[in-house]
Structure 1
Amino acid sequence: MKLYLDTADGDAWDDLMPTGLFHGITTNPLLAERAGLEYARIDWSKMAGKAHELGAKELHAQVYGPAEEYVDWAEKLYAVGEAAGIEIVVKIPLVEETIRVTPAIKALGGRILMTACYDAKQMFVAKALRTDFLSPYFGRMKEAGIDAETHLAAMEKMNRPDVRRCEVLVASLRSAAQMVTLANLGHDHFTISPDVARELLTSPHSIKAFTEFEEAISSS
C-alpha cells in the first residue's frame, strides 16, 4: 500500500510528512490556489527540495497551459526532480488535446499519471499509452451521481490480467471510511487531503485506551 499527501500547503507537509505515512506528495493547480500559491510562479526546484527533505520519494506535478508546450514543461519537471533527488511524476489531464501529446512526454522516459478520471473506460487510454498511474476522482464522481464504486471495481479488474499494471491512485477522497470501502475492492494507492490524513491518525477508542494505559502506570 502507498499513501500520498494531496496538498500544496507547505505547513501541512511540515505537520504530516514526519508521521512516515506518506510515500509522496501530489499537487495540482487547484491545490496550489487553495494554498495561496500562483501555479505558474511556483519554484519547483524549491518545492521538490522541500518534499525530498521531508522524506517524500515522489512529487506529482501537473502540466498546464497550451498543450503544445507540455513536452518542454514535462522535461523541465523531470530535470528538477533529478537535481533535487526526488522522482517527479508528471500529471496529465484526461482530455483529448492533452492525451494527444502524452506519447511525446512518455518518450522523455519519466513516469506519467493520467488525472481527472471519472470513468472506467479511461483506463483503456491510460493502459494503451503505457502510463504509470491513473487517478480517479472518487469523491467528485459520487457527488456527480456516478456509481463510483462500480467504476473503481472495474478499473481494478482491468489491471489483473496484465503483467504491467497502471496503478490506480485514488484521489478526491472525503473520508477514511471511503478508503476502507475501496481497499475492500482491491485498491491500495490513495492520495488524501490533510483532513483525511488527520482522520486516519485519530480514533476516540484508541485515545481512550491509551489514556487508560497511562493512568494505570501513573497509579501503580
Structure 2
Amino acid sequence: MKLYLDCADARQWTLPAGCPTVQGVTTNPTLVMQAGLPVSLPGYLQLVAQAGEAKISELMLQLPRADVGEAAQWLEVLLPAAVQARVRLTVKLPCHPDWQPVLREVQAWGVPTLLTGLSNPMQLLWARAQGAHFVAPYVGRLQAEGRDVWSLIEACVAVQADGLHLLAASIKSADVLSRLIACGAHAVTLRPEFAAELATDPLTLAAMAQFDRDVVTSHSAAL
C-alpha cells in the first residue's frame, strides 16, 4: 500500500525514521491556505517547486473552481513546471457532476485525476464511468456521520481491478489503517504528525526496556 502525506507545508514532508517511504503529497485548498500559501496559480507553482526540491515524486493538487477556462490556463503553466521539477502531477476535483466539464478538460491534457470526497456507492460507479484514476473517500468523516464506511471501502477495493484506485483519506487511528492495509487499499493519505506518531509504539518501547533489563540481569548473574 502506498503512503501519501496530506499536507501543503513543505516543512512537514520529512518523516522520522521508522516510517515507510512516502509516495507523494496530496493537498487541497484548505491545506494550502493553512500552509500560508495563496490558493492561486503562483501558490501552486510554489508547491510544485518545493516538491521538486524535496524530491517528492508525486503531487496531487486540487483545482479551486469549476471553471474549464481557468483549469486550462493553470494546466498550461503547471504541467511544464512539474516536468522541470521532475514531479508527477495528479489533479484533484470534487466527486460531483458539477465538476464533470473540468474533469474532461483535465483528461484532455492527459493528466491523472482524483475525485475526492466520495461518500456513497453511486458516486463510486459514476467515478469509474468517468475514467478517473483515483477516488478518495474521507474515512474519518464518514465514520463520524455513522455511515457503514467499510462496505464502501470494500466496494472501492473491488473496482480497483478496473483501474480506479482507492486513496483512503482522513485516517484517524492505527486500527483503521490496519484494516485498510488488510482489505487491499491501493493507498492512504495521512497527516504528517499522525504518521510520525506511529513510527514507534509504547508497547514496542516497553518490550525493548524489558529486554534491556533482562540483559543486565543475565549479565549480573553470570559474574
Q: TM-score, normalised by structure 1?
A: 0.86
The aligned counterpart of 1:60 is: 60
Asked whether the 8 Å contact 2:15–2:195 carries over to 1, the reply is: no
For residues 17 and 54 of structure 1, the distance between their equivalents in structure 2, rounded to whole angstroms, comes to 17
1:175 and 2:183 matched: no
Q: Determine which structure has more spread, i.e. the larger CA radius of gyration.
A: 2
Assess, with a 3 A threshold, how the Cα gap between structure 1 residues 17 and 167 changes in structure 2: closer, same or farther: farther
Q: Which amino acid aligns with 2:38?
A: E
For residues 169 and 128 of structure 1, the distance between their equivalents in structure 2, rounded to whole angstroms, comes to 17
Q: Give the stretch that moved more between structures: 105-114 or 207-216.
A: 207-216
Asked whether the 8 Å contact 1:28–1:62 carries over to 2, the reply is: yes
The aligned counterpart of 1:4 is: 4
The aligned counterpart of 1:126 is: 127
Q: Which amino acid aligns with 1:157?
A: A
Number of residue pairs aligned between Structure 1 and Structure 2: 216
For residues 18 and 94 of structure 1, the distance between their equivalents in structure 2, rounded to whole angstroms, comes to 34
Asked whether the 8 Å contact 1:176–1:199 carries over to 2, the reply is: no
Consecutive unaligned residues of structure 1, counting only runs of 5 or more, are none
For residues 28 and 190 of structure 1, the distance between their equivalents in structure 2, rounded to whole angstroms, comes to 15
CA RMSD of aligned residues (A): 2.4
* Greater RCO (CA < 8 Å, at least 6 residues apart): 2
Assess, with a 3 A threshold, how the Cα gap between structure 1 residues 127 and 195 changes in structure 2: closer, same or farther: same
The aligned counterpart of 1:142 is: 143
For residues 71 and 16 of structure 1, the distance between their equivalents in structure 2, rounded to whole angstroms, comes to 38
1:34 and 2:34 matched: yes
SS of 2:177 mapped into structure 1: helix
Percent identical: 30
Q: Give the stretch that moved more between structures: 182-191 or 168-177.
A: 182-191
Give the Å deviation of 1:54. Answer: 2.4
For residues 144 and 77 of structure 2, the distance between their equivalents in structure 1, rounded to whole angstroms, comes to 35
The aligned counterpart of 2:75 is: 74
Give the Å deviation of 1:3. Answer: 0.3
Assess, with a 3 A threshold, how the Cα gap between structure 1 residues 44 and 213 changes in structure 2: closer, same or farther: farther
The aligned counterpart of 1:201 is: 199
For residues 66 and 137 of structure 2, the distance between their equivalents in structure 1, rounded to whole angstroms, comes to 23
Asked whether the 8 Å contact 2:66–2:102 carries over to 1, the reply is: no
Asked whether the 8 Å contact 1:156–1:168 carries over to 2, the reply is: yes
